[in-house]
Amino acid sequence: MYDCAVTLQWDLRAFSELTTTELYGLLRLRQEVFVVEQNCPYLDADGLDDQATHLFALDGKVIVACARLFAPGVREEPAVIGRVVSAPAVRRTGAGRELMRRAIAALEAAHGAVPIRIGAQKYVEKFYTSFGFVRDGEDYLEDGITHLHMLRPEDRRQSRV
């Protein structure tokens, strides 16, 4: 079992700072999970990667978890965390929880205590709720999977439910 705080090497990079090997690893992991495992044929290369900061974890030379972080105003007014994914090998090890903890911390370090939006698959709603995210709208279908918008308010004591 992984101790993600010790075993995994974490990195945070702007798109322009990614090596071709790192970019390939990010795209490979996202396609492995979202396209192949979840059987959702969609265009992952959506033209937004160059506007994001990329948080990722390496196990040796293999990227095993990643997320895209968008500053407030880039995609929409709140900051946005997207393409949150972990490889099957690190699921239920705390790697996903560490990924989210680091994603929120990175956005707050760069932009202060700002609202953060995420488009979550319905089945992980409780996971994101544990980080202070609250439902922000009705369920919707994307690529055949039920999703919902969630918002982590600037002041997490507030609720938009």
158 lies in a domain? no
On the question of pLDDT at 109 being above 70, the answer is yes
128 burial via Cβ count (<10 Å: 0-12, 13-18, 19+): buried
3-state secondary structure of 46: coil
159 lies in a domain? no
Q: 155 or 134: whose pLDDT is higher?
A: 134
The domain in which residue 111 lies consists of 9-152
- The CATH number given to whatever domain includes residue 118 is 3.40.630.30
List, for residues 39-77, the tens digit of each pLDDT value. 888 889 999 999 999 999 999 999 999 999 999 999 989
Instruction: Report pLDDT for 4.
Output: 58
1 lies in a domain? no
29 lies in a domain? yes
CA dist., res. 102 & res. 132, Å (int): 14
Instruction: Report pLDDT for 161.
Output: 36
Instruction: Report pLDDT for 7.
Output: 86
Instruction: Report pLDDT for 131.
Output: 97
Of 28-32, 92-96, 142-146, 154-158, the poorest mean pLDDT is in 154-158
Q: How many domains does the chain have?
A: 1
93 lies in a domain? yes
Instruction: Report pLDDT for 104.
Output: 97
Q: Which pLDDT band, with edges at 50, 70 and 90, does 142 fall under?
A: confident
**∠ CA 146-150-154 to the nearest 5 degrees?**
175
157 lies in a domain? no
- Quote the mean pLDDT of the chain: 92
Q: Are β-strands 140-142 and 134-135 bridged in parallel, bridged antiparallel, or unpaired?
A: unpaired
2 lies in a domain? no
